[in-house]
Amino acid sequence: MLRVTTYQARDGMIVAMPVLHPRRPEVVLLRPGAVLDPHTIAKMREIGLHEVWVKYPRLDRLNEYFSAGVVQACSAVTGQIRLALDSVIADAHARLDYVSYKRAVSGLLEKFCERPKAAMFVHELGEGSSPALRHASSVCLLSVLMGIKLDFYLIHERIRLAAHSAKDVSNLGVGAMLHDIGMLRLEPAVRERWEQTGDESDPAFREHVQIGYDLVRDQVEPSAAAVVLNHHQSFDGNGFPVRRDEEETAPKRQEIHVFARIVAGADLFTRLHYSGGPNGASIPTVRALKLIQQPQFARRLDPIVLKAILNVVPAYAPGTIVTLSTGHECVVTQWTHDKPCRPVVETLLPHGREGDPEVFDLRIRPDISIVRAEGHAVADDNFAPPTPHAYDMMHGAPGLENRAAELLRQRKAS
């Protein structure tokens, strides 16, 4: 399969993954197997669709990374988020449908278990929808992916719970769905100021976490409510809200619920990805990943959570079209988190043309690099781990290596 822009799409291409409505992501416009024609392509561009996955027989081996069931489960989560946002906009005292939210997240988890590799792009499925819905959906889906990857860490951090309960991330997903719900009750001028400046020191903006917490705390589980209240806490203790005690300090490190730490990472990455460019424009994935590792952002995140982001968000995911420094237009076929900007790629043949592609394994070709992806020049965005095990989530984390090894053995046994 190939990930092509709607301007790269051609007559006769066959849709490989469900095409979702950009403003109503729970609505499927085109199902797998649909054949693109000039009218359909023009309509996709008209309504704001940016990309579509199409079949590319030479790359059938990449099908393990994609699943229509996963996409539909993600769409169900997005639909529940939209209903939640709409209900709060309509009524400040609206009852939230916690059972439906948790059911949608549980359905997503079930699909991930069926196809564990089919999650490369789920954090982007809300692209094209309203900013609030896109952000909430992306944060929720990315948080769930990170939570699954961090099962060993959840057991370590939620020591009072049995292992199966500690690594249950359904309430992490619910909290992530609703994490910014308090924003809807802020004055429009405050929201507009935040969108223009991104100034987290604004006292009026900071009120949204308490407002959101007050909306949800009696309607969802405490661990989900903790996400809503504390997703702006910093691992270094410089976040908000502050505790109402004599010193008025903010919690830090393990004082912050691990779910809130995970959502803080997903929230920051999503904001960088979708609005980290000039005038709030989106930036390519690789640039957002490089940026989030800079000290001004990294210090705010749990180091294990930061590593989780680098493990679940590919800088260049399989199926993505890239341009090499040699001038070759290629498609990514393999990606590993330890060398995130040096995937295996092969040359892309024009639609309908037969032939043998040339394969470049950038892991062993330091003389070649990716210079363009996602419609952007990215030559200056490529990065490498500062040390050989820098992106290994277990490495250097006291007490976690044995737990991770134990869980890995359990997975293999099951």
**Rounded Cα gap, residues 308 and 394, in angstroms:** 10
Among 45-49, 59-63, 148-152, 398-402, top mean pLDDT goes to 148-152
Higher pLDDT, 28 or 330: 330
Predicted local distance difference test score (pLDDT) of residue 72 = 79
Please report where in the chains the tokens 């460019």 appear, as a residue: 277
How confident is the model over 381-410, as a mean pLDDT? 75
The pTM (predicted TM-score) of the whole model is 0.87
| Burial bucket for residue 82 (CB in 10 Å: 0-12, 13-18, 19+) | buried
Predicted local distance difference test score (pLDDT) of residue 74 = 82
**Rounded Cα gap, residues 181 and 202, in angstroms:** 18
Is residue 318 pLDDT above 70, yes or no?
A: yes
Predicted local distance difference test score (pLDDT) of residue 350 = 65
Higher pLDDT, 199 or 264: 264
Cβ neighbours for 403, distance < 8 A, ≥ 6 positions apart: 152, 155, 156
**Alpha-carbon separation of residue 267 from 34, 85, 97, 148, 248 (angstroms):** 34, 17, 23, 17, 24
Structure tokens at 127: 């692209």
Is residue 124 pLDDT above 60, yes or no?
A: no
Each residue's pLDDT tens digit, 264-305? 999 999 999 988 777 777 899 999 999 999 999 999 999 999
Structure tokens at 210: 């308490």
Is residue 176 pLDDT above 50, yes or no?
A: yes
**Alpha-carbon separation of residue 277 from 29, 142, 282, 295, 343 (angstroms):** 30, 21, 6, 18, 25
DSSP code string of 239-276: -SSPPSSSS-PPP-GGGS-HHHHHHHHHHHHHHHHHH-
**Percentage above 70 pLDDT, the chain:** 89
Structure tokens at 378: 């990215």
Predicted local distance difference test score (pLDDT) of residue 128 = 47
How confident is the model over 350-378, as a mean pLDDT? 86
Confidence of residue 226 (pLDDT cuts 50, 70, 90): very high
| Burial bucket for residue 342 (CB in 10 Å: 0-12, 13-18, 19+) | buried
Confidence of residue 9 (pLDDT cuts 50, 70, 90): confident
Q: What is the dihedral of CA 302, 305, 311, 313, to 10 degrees?
A: -110
| Average pLDDT score over the chain | 85
Predicted local distance difference test score (pLDDT) of residue 410 = 60
Length of the chain: 414
Confidence of residue 307 (pLDDT cuts 50, 70, 90): very high
Give the count of beta carbons closer than 10 Å to the beta carbon of residue 115: 16
Q: Are 282 and 123 in contact (CB under 8 A)?
A: no
Each residue's pLDDT tens digit, 247-265? 677 768 888 999 999 999 9
Rg from Cα positions in the chain: 21
The one-character DSSP state at 158 is -
**Percentage above 90 pLDDT, the chain:** 43
**Rounded Cα gap, residues 290 and 287, in angstroms:** 5
* Run of H or E including 279: none
DSSP code string of 101-119: HHHHHHHHHHHHHHSTT--
Q: Are 404 and 393 in contact (CB under 8 A)?
A: yes
Q: Are 95 and 216 in contact (CB under 8 A)?
A: no
The distance from CA 151 to its chain's CA centroid, rounded to whole angstroms, is 17
How confident is the model over 191-210, as a mean pLDDT? 88
Confidence of residue 403 (pLDDT cuts 50, 70, 90): low
Predicted local distance difference test score (pLDDT) of residue 408 = 59
